[in-house]
Amino acid sequence: MGCMPLDVFRWHLMATCSTRMSSLGLVLVVVGWWIMILALRENAFVVPVGKHQADRQPLTAVALWLLMLQAPALPRQVRFGVGPRFAGGSMAIVDDFLFTLTLVTALGCGLIAGLFFAFSVAVMQALARLPAAGGIAAMQSINTVILNPLFLSVFLGTATGCVLVMLTALTRWRSPGSVYLLVGGALYLVGSLVVTVVCNVPKNDALASIAPADPDSAGLWAGYLARWTAWSHVRTVTSLASLSSLILGLCSVKH
């Protein structure tokens, strides 16, 4: 899985999939992770069985031994923002994974919120001061350069993290912080991802077809600045709200 981004953006060894197939693959990955989490969460016999399997199956001994190391003799109940857990055993592994996932997702929301904030308060205002031809050429270059593996990994990876966090919150609806996690994931998916795809990207595509030296480009550029920047404000606010909600979910700690 670690080589997949390199193949997509660098090597191009595999054929390019359609948007529909890529979306289906993302859904299947999310569903697969969700099933794995539920299986580990509900299976109370993972650790005892693992102890015997480690002696019988050398190929799986390492993975099962890691599970055994997490199982103390007397587990104690602890509550984190992602829900109740038992210190040790498979539940500890699952809960630690979910806690880390939520933290990394929150950091991704913060990075994206900072990027949108920079566009809203600095980049777009600076471009508006340039002549229309210069502003259009600069924005066209920005729209091309920003589609790089690092940005796409953070932007889409955060969206994937939000989906997993929301699924977790739904399965632990009665646990502390679940509402915050669900709201935080939804805010990012709708206010950042959907707004970008539906509102900002079509405007970028329309701008890419404009010749900066065209005499009619000045009016088109003025309309682009007003509408694109307004939606950038929306993305900034929703991404920041998503970050805040996820942090509140993590801070819902009860011992």
Task: Report domain extents, the chain.
Answer: 4-39+87-250
Average pLDDT, the chain: 76
Predicted local confidence at residue 169, as pLDDT: 84
Q: Is 86 a residue whose pLDDT tops 50?
A: no
Residue 205: pLDDT band (50, 70, 90) is very high
Predicted local confidence at residue 208, as pLDDT: 93
Predicted local confidence at residue 215, as pLDDT: 83
CA dihedral of 79, 74, 90, 101, whole degrees rounded to 10: 30
Predicted local confidence at residue 61, as pLDDT: 41
Is the CB of residue 9 less than 8 Å from the CB of residue 149? yes
Instruction: Tell me the C-alpha distance between 170 and 228, whole Å.
Output: 34
Put simply, whether the predicted model's pTM sits higher than 0.75 gets the answer: no
